[in-house]
Structure 1
Amino acid sequence: MPKRKVAVALMAHPDDAEMTCAGTLIRLSRSGWEIHIATVTAGDCGSQSLGPEETAAMRVEEGTRAAELAGATFHCLGEPDGRVVYDRQSLQKTIDLFRRITPSLVITMPMSDYHSDHEMTGRLGRAASFVYAAPNASDVPLGDGATVPRVYYCDGLGGRDRMGDLIEPTTFVDISGQLELKASMLACHQSQRDWLRSHNGIDNYIESMRTHSVERGRQCGVDAAEAFVQHRGHGHPADDLLLEMFGPGRRGN
């Protein structure tokens, strides 16, 4: 168990955490962790009728409200929706955010997913995790306890990668007791139901989230679960903290 209990979910858009890892964030919060939800974009393309500034403001407000339900703080890096790139500017923004938060646990997006914004976010999360604690990586003062954190990639849409192939999780987190609050967090993103229906062909995305959570739960023998792939590359802690804390059979908070 790390001495510093701070977790950040680095996502692409304001409803991504609620679709993928909010149950785990709730469990961390109830276990005494400081929780942050950060998005690379404000989701300014997520409307068929409003302009980008109005859409961004609305979606940041929705994201802030959803985060508060989990006891989390919401952040937005302000990169353009649908046009996230892995470059020096976006990486520096991510590093600077991590310097201010000093996380010991990072959840980010899969680097193979249907949406390129998600893939670029995963790359930003991985790179910033590895380098943020280096003294010369940022002008933001280095916080106490800064170190290379544990990193997990959240599930892809429907548990599949960019080519539609099934993702093989390394880690399941039991969210049976957190599913209803996770659904309430997702419901805060009221603007996205019409958008997803018209653009992605998804009607009732809250029920889609429930269905996938139940399916992941079935795969590990619980009522509902979230799935992750842990980053175990050189320099990163390899012990599976989420599994040890919240794996199947360890319900707790």
Structure 2
Amino acid sequence: MPHRSSVLNRKVALAFMAHPDDAEISCGGTLVRLQESGWEVHITSVTAGDCGSMSEGPEETARIRFAEGVNAAESIGATFHTLGEPDGRLVYDRVSLQKSIDLFRRIAPTLVITMPMSDYHADHEITGQLGRAASFVYAAPNASEEPVIEGSQVPYLYYTDGHDGEDRMGNAITPTTFIDISDQLETKTQMLAHHKSQLEWLRSHNGIDEYLTAMREHSRSRGTDIGTQAAEAFVQHRGHGHPSDDLLATLFPNDKSSLSIDSALQATHS
């Protein structure tokens, strides 16, 4: 396992997401808490988001969504990136993986939050695969032509909650980690509001009439799991080579929680 003290001395967090608004929906509150705690925060959209419109062409849609991603990230002092892969047609191959590794190499994150590998959207699942693979190998000298930044190593790795807290088959996800975002919910909402182009798209294509309300309701639902007003849920990757102590829970203990984690997990399955 990587030396924990070295990891914590370099406080760089990367939210490695599939689409420009995924970070705000799934882990925006936690990113705010990290930034407020002195972490350098990066948000990446693997795709260009070019299918996220019912009226504009792909190039214009990608341009709009990139600008929205930049504005949302900058509103909390974070940096936005995109790998520009095709929305809805993301594949796990050598090209997409190398682009992911090169990005990791330039950022050298010590904490990575990526997407669940079982979710309703295939782009989300493939992004999770790319995030896991890049996390494990990016610090290897021969993995990229990008220079190795001092402190590069296998990072803490977490997967975000699935849509409605479920996997691709509709089964409840069992989180390992809950982060209280009661004080950050309004900022999270403001971040997501920067993605104005998605209002009509989500209503027409996904049947979500009000994306801000849907996000807030799920955040409050996860808060109920741990006895707080709002929360975000994660599953930590604890496989060989990755740090297995729960960094997020150590950084942000649920001081306001009236439930134990065991009780929260029972509530998730009820």
TM bucket, shorter chain? over 0.9
Residue 23 of structure 2 is aligned to residue 14 of structure 1 = no
| Alpha-carbon displacement from aligned partner over 1:173-231 (angstroms, at most 9, x marks no partner) | 01000000000000000000100000011000101110100110110111100000000
1:158 partner amino acid? D
TM-score (norm 2): 0.92
Work out whether residues 172 and 228 of structure 1, in 8 Å CA contact, stay in contact via their aligned partners in 2: yes
Over 3 Å counting, the alpha-carbon distance change for 1:115 and 1:74 in structure 2 is same
> Which deviations, in whole Å up to 9, do the C-alpha atoms of 1:157-185 show, x marking residues without a partner?
10000001100000000100000000000
Deviation at 1:247, TM superposition (A): 3.0
Deviation at 1:250, TM superposition (A): 6.8
Which residue, out of 235, 241, 246, partners 2:241? 235
Partner in structure 1 of residue 119 of structure 2: 113
Quote the residue 2:268 is aligned against. Answer: none
User: Which runs of structure 2 are paired with 1:30-41 in the superposition (5 Å)?
Assistant: 30-41=36-47
Can you list the C-alpha shifts for 1:67-91, whole angstroms capped at 9, x where unaligned? Answer: 0112100000000000011100000
What is the SS of the residue equivalent to 2:183? coil
Q: Distance in 2 between matches of 1:108 and 1:179?
A: 20
* Structure 2, gaps ≥5 residues long: 258-270
Aligned residue among 184, 188, 193 for 2:199: 193
**1:97 aligned residue:** 103
Determine if the alignment matches structure 1 residue 61 to structure 2 residue 61. no
Q: CA RMSD in A?
A: 1.0
Bigger shift: residues 174-183 or 1-10: 1-10
Identity %: 69
Q: Is the 8 A contact 1:26 1:178 kept in 2?
A: yes
Query: What is the alpha-carbon distance in structure 2 between the residues aligned to residue 208 and residue 200 of structure 1?
Result: 12
* SS of corresponding position for 1:164: coil
> How many residues are matched?
251
| Residue of 22, 31, 35 corresponding to 1:29 | 35
Q: 1:250 to 1:96 in 2, by over 3 A?
A: farther
Q: Provide the C-alpha distance between the structure 2 equivalents of 1:173 and 1:41, rounded to a whole number of angstroms.
A: 27
What's the counterpart of residue 79 of structure 1?
85
Mapping of residues 162-173 of structure 1, within 5 Å: 162-173=168-179
Looking at structure 2, the residues matched to 243 and 221 of structure 1 have their Cα atoms a distance apart, in angstroms, of: 15
- Does structure 1 conserve the Cα–Cα contact (< 8 Å) formed by 2:228 and 2:256? no
Q: How many Å separate the matches in 2 of 1:19 and 1:30? A: 19
Matched, 1:133 2:139: yes
Q: Deviations over 1:133-162 (max 9, x none)?
A: 000000000001000000000011100000
